[in-house]
Amino acid sequence: MGLSRHRFDVNLSILFTELPLLRRPAAAAACGFTAVELWWPWPDDPIPERRRLDALRTALLDAGTRLVGLNLYAGQLPGPDRGALSIPGAPSDRFRANVDVAAEFAASVGCPALNALYGNRVPGVDPRVQDELALDNLCFAARTAAGIGAKLLIEPLNTVESPHYPLVSTEAAARTADRVNAVTGLDNAALLLDLYHVSMNGEDPHEAVDRWGARAGHVQIADVPGRGAPGTGRLDFPELFDRLAKAGHDGWVGLEYRPQGPSTEAFGWRDEPRFRAR
């Protein structure tokens, strides 16, 4: 059982950040990875100039790396914004404007999944108003994603680091994906199962994998506490990898942890006997 090495991808927005963006795909490839994912690379610019998109596409293709996940515009990450699509006014407008741009880019590199962060609660705004706006924007994004044959991922965060973010349980994010699918009829909205956020929320990651692993459109990992590589904290990743396989998850598992030193030295855990497929 377990997951084989080639099913791991690297999040280039948290690893290899010591390098300029356009050099990161090649650095990941040099470490043996064929797939990468990204938060929206330009947090201050939901509609970047064409030359910037073209340069990133070229960097991915020249490195031989496939982009398997791309966050839609969500403001500054990490930072106080934590999403935009449910925040009335300019943040929501920027999100909406970004969807077509991000989808077009994703289609050009064969990216199968777009990730939408829900957005923080805003003081003085009725949560029901935010939820209505969020559902409308998520449905818009799901329809756009379907147009390029992609999934729309909906991600819970954790209440410790994102206390104003309303989706702080796996079930809440899964229910939101179900509501989007019910409205659109497309069935392409799916849960992003991030085992770091699951554990930080106090959920049992083993139970979460057993319950939600088969429904997860994508999985991300980091150890707890500290958001480091597997083996730096308390999570039993060999067991979690086995459970993911048994649950039927056959998609990518994104490495979304902070390296303790140079990123090139952040993957040695994969060669430890306890982490090899069992």
The reply to whether 49 belongs to the active site is: no
Marked catalytic residue, from 37, 256, 265, 272: 256
Q: Tell me, letter by letter, the H, E, C secondary structure of the chain.
A: CCCCHHHEEEECCCCCCCCCHHHHHHHHHHCCCCEEEECCCCCCCCCCCHHHHHHHHHHHHHHCCEEEEEECCCCCCCCCCCECCCCCCHHHHHHHHHHHHHHHHHHHCCCCEEEECECCCCCCCCHHHHHHHHHHHHHHHHHHHHHCCCEEEECCCCCCCCCCCCCCCHHHHHHHHHHHHHHHCCCCEEEEEEHHHHHHCCCCHHHHHHHHHHHEEEEEECCCCCCCCCCCCCCCHHHHHHHHHHHCCCCCEEECCCCCCCHHHCCHHHHCHHHCCC
Marked catalytic residue, from 49, 155, 171, 265: 155
The reply to whether 256 belongs to the active site is: yes
Catalytic residues: 155, 256
